[in-house]
């Protein structure tokens, strides 16, 4: 197992080289003037297009640009992102915890809801509850995030906004953003210290339940949005996996032994049925960690997804490279963790 993990980790640099070379080659399909778009935000700046191309070396050949990026990256400098107006590394350091916080908090209802509903549907196969759950899953899966997100905002921030603001001093307001303006000012002037950029953790470290709740209530609507869509897939997999497990011989044997249904279902069948769900949950987390563009945009949540979306539109080359490397890292390490977890859950699996 240890050798397997080491071998997989040694593979990471090659993945980095592969994806970054691919990005640089793709960028070469664009002319230098097209690549200069990252530095031109107004018509007046068109005036200096040629000088911009020269200053930022946009007309350098492929190998020079790639060598330059690798040289800087090896020294820890991933370049400057015009989309976030700060170094790429700084943006990742600030935004990855934000996306991770949203992803991890979302994962609880995504998995919990998916497993619960999947189990419910499987155990009530072809009954009304199964049909309702399956239709619900299809609706949840096919409902675009931005539609659900805006509905939730219109309902809770718009329509019910006044009620929530007036109730309990506004403690239950559901707003877009990561924190309220009051907390944002405290963060800006240092009254509230940022240590990890995970606000839920920082607020506990600082002994500030008000900030903890402030950050948590800002997560509620985006988490509901993500849970509605992502849990649908887990529910479907859980249902089919459990149905398959319930038809296995050992389950029949357990029943033949006279065990109660509850023990058969939850101790014998569901544990095994969870194996594919774990894999899927791992991929869901990887997906969420990379930032959820639409949800972050609708809820004005300052995560990786929103940054990358604006960087891609503006052809912000250093940001695209940095984000690609980060994504490759998350995918490789995430897959590795899923594999390891898989082996722990299912002792029959051994990596050599």
Sites for another protein among residues 1-20 (CB under 8 A): none
In the set 15, 49, 243, 331, which binds another protein (CB under 8 A)?
A: 49
Strand partners, 87: 80
Near another protein by CB under 8 A, which window of 5-13, 67-75, 163-171, 340-348?
Answer: 163-171
Query: Which 165-184 positions form the footprint of another protein (CB under 8 A)?
Result: 165, 167-172, 175-177, 180-184
Q: Which is nearer to another protein, 87 or 334 (CB)?
A: 87
Should residue 299 be labelled a site residue for another protein when binding is judged by CB under 8 A?
yes
In the set 150, 201, 220, 278, which binds another protein (CB under 8 A)?
A: 150
Should residue 116 be labelled a site residue for another protein when binding is judged by CB under 8 A?
no
Near another protein by CB under 8 A, which window of 124-132, 211-219, 242-250, 330-338?
Answer: 211-219
Query: Closest separation between CB of residue 170 and another protein, Å?
Result: 6
Should residue 41 be labelled a site residue for another protein when binding is judged by CB under 8 A?
yes
Alpha-carbon gap, residue 267 to 260, rounded angstroms: 10
Alpha-carbon gap, residue 66 to 86, rounded angstroms: 21
User: Given the structure tokens 């990256």, which residue do they identify?
Assistant: 73
Query: Closest separation between CB of residue 99 and another protein, Å?
Result: 13
Q: Which is nearer to another protein, 238 or 319 (CB)?
A: 319
- DSSP class of residue 30? S
In the set 7, 14, 54, 64, which binds another protein (CB under 8 A)?
A: 54
Q: How far is CA 171 from CA 151, 218, 330, in A?
A: 21, 11, 36
Per rule CB under 8 A, count of chain residues that contact another protein: 71
Alpha-carbon gap, residue 303 to 95, rounded angstroms: 5
Should residue 129 be labelled a site residue for another protein when binding is judged by CB under 8 A?
no
Buried b (16+ CB within 10 A) or exposed e, 145-167: beebbbebbeebbeeebeebeee
What is the total residue count of the chain?
A: 352
Query: Which 237-296 positions form the footprint of another protein (CB under 8 A)?
Result: none
With beta carbons less than 8 A apart as the criterion, state whether 232 and 138 touch.
yes
User: Given the structure tokens 């563009």, which residue do they identify?
Assistant: 293
Contact string 312-341 vs another protein (x = CB under 8 A): ---x--------------------------
Strand partners, 80: 87
Within 13 Å and on the Cβ side, how many CA atoms surround 342? 17
């Amino acid at each position: 197992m240890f050798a397997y993990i080491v071998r997989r980790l040694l593979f990471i640099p090659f993945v980095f080289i592969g994806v970054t070379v691919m990005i640089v080659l793709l960028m070469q399909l664009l002319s230098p003037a097209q690549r200069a778009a990252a530095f031109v935000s107004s018509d007046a700046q068109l005036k200096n297009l040629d000088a911009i191309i020269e200053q930022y070396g946009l007309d350098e050949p492929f190998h020079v640009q790639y060598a330059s990026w690798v040289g800087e990256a090896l020294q820890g400098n991933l370049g400057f992102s015009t989309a976030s107006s700060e170094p790429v590394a700084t943006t990742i350091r600030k935004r990855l915890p934000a996306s991770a916080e949203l992803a991890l908090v979302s994962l609880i209802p995504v998995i919990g809801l998916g497993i619960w509903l999947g189990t419910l549907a499987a155990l009530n196969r072809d009954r009304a509850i199964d049909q309702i759950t399956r239709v619900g899953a299809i609706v949840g899966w096919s409902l675009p995030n931005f539609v659900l997100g805006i509905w939730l905002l219109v309902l809770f921030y718009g329509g019910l906004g006044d009620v929530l603001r007036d109730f309990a001093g506004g403690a239950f307001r559901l707003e877009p953003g990561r924190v309220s303006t009051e907390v944002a000012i405290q963060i800006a002037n240092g009254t509230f210290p940022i240590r990890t950029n995970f606000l839920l953790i920082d607020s506990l470290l600082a002994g500030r339940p008000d900030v903890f709740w402030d950050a948590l209530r800002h997560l509620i609507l985006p988490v509901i949005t993500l849970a509605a869509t992502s849990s649908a897939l887990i529910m479907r997999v859980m249902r089919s996996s459990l149905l398959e497990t319930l038809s296995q011989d050992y389950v029949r044997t357990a029943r033949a032994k006279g065990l109660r249904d509850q023990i058969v279902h939850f101790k014998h069948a569901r544990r095994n049925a969870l194996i594919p769900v774990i894999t899927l949950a791992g991929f869901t987390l990887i997906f969420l960690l990379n930032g959820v563009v639409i949800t972050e945009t609708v809820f004005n949540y300052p995560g990786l997804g929103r940054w990358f979306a604006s960087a891609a539109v503006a052809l912000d080359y250093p940001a695209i490279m940095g984000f690609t490397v980060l994504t490759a890292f998350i995918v490789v390490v995430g897959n590795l963790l899923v594999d390891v977890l898989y082996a722990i859950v299912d002792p029959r699996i051994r990596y050599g």
